[in-house]
Structure 1
Amino acid sequence: MQAEQNLVAANANVGAARALYYPTISLTGALGSVSTAFGDFLSGPAQVWSVAAGLTGPIFTSGAIGGQVQSAEAQKRQAELVYRQTVLGAFGDTNNALVSSQKTIEQAELQQQRVEALREFARLSRLKFEDGLIGYLEVLISENDLFSAELALASLQASRFNQVIGVYQAMGGGWVDIADSRTPVALSAERKGSSVQGR
């Protein structure tokens, strides 16, 4: 949005620079002291001289105006390139975030299956130990493997949430507006709570 607004502003600057080619006629300044009626606008030598001076002004400065127009057009082209680069970057960021999120979801599902399998293995190991079929070392190993798998699953889930945030960010946000809309409600609830405590 920022790149788009910069492009709009640069385009407006081009129009403003090109407008300098056209003469500006001030009716109040040119006619206030020389003409008594609007119908006499071009009658009399004073009015013709005043209008002619206003019309020839831009001609004498056409070189400077042309430079301003070229500068404004160059800034517009630069803003266009920045806008295109920003849009392409946003598409790339969104695609990368979506692909990473999908891969993390798949990894988390596989890790969840591994955790469930190791949880069952640890349960069976405890039963075997209680029946005297295996030593306690095997139980510790199975529980250690389960704990490591659960830590890996928690890490993948955290990465998944971060990547969802990355998708929102790449697509231009959205959660900020939701947070802003909920902020006054939270503040009013806090104020009510503090007023109740004060009583």
Structure 2
Amino acid sequence: MENTEKFTNNKQIITFLTEQFPLCFTAGSTPAKPLKIGIFQELASRLEGDERVSKTQLRGALRQYTLSWRYLHSVKQSIKRVDLDGNEGDEVSEEHAEHALKTLKESKEKAFANKKKVAPDATDKPKRAPKKVNIPSRTKKSFTKKEPVEDLSNFKEAVHAELKPSQAVKVILGKSPVSGVIVEIMKDDVQVQLDSGMTVKVKAKHLIV
């Protein structure tokens, strides 16, 4: 029983044409041949009773075949055109050869441009922000350094009248007394140079000796 299932796409129709007219239509690595001008009318006539393909489908498949790079490569000046049975006819004119070359060039440029859009260069890719990793912070334990407590039991509060220049004393500043040397004794105050080099003016009651 003959297969009467209708073709649904150009690829099926082109495969069908290469099987029905192998001396005219080629596929795969076999070089294509320039088709006879008016080949569509010849095809429509030959396939008029075939219910698998309509004239509209046939026209679309023929257009796809003749716009393929493989076919456009074959359309060169002085090459003989062929009919459905492979019989050679007129030669390809210079005008048609130039048109085929131009169409081929434009088709390739368009294809390469589309390919570049689909697969952009790696350098064009947006850089991903580094993934943030939450590292639990360690609470630093503060260790209070305990300063040795100085024994002040042997010291006594200074008496202004008993103080002398160059005498070693301790100045009560804040919590801990600071060592120093008397630089000058004034009427009410005493000027002391601390071990740090700083000079302070204090009352005698702030000194211990």
TM-score where L is the length of structure 2: 0.20
* Greater share of strand: 2
* Greater share of helix: 1
With CA pairs under 8 Å and 6+ residues apart, which has the higher RCO, 1 or 2? 1
TM-score where L is the length of structure 1: 0.21
Larger radius of gyration: 2
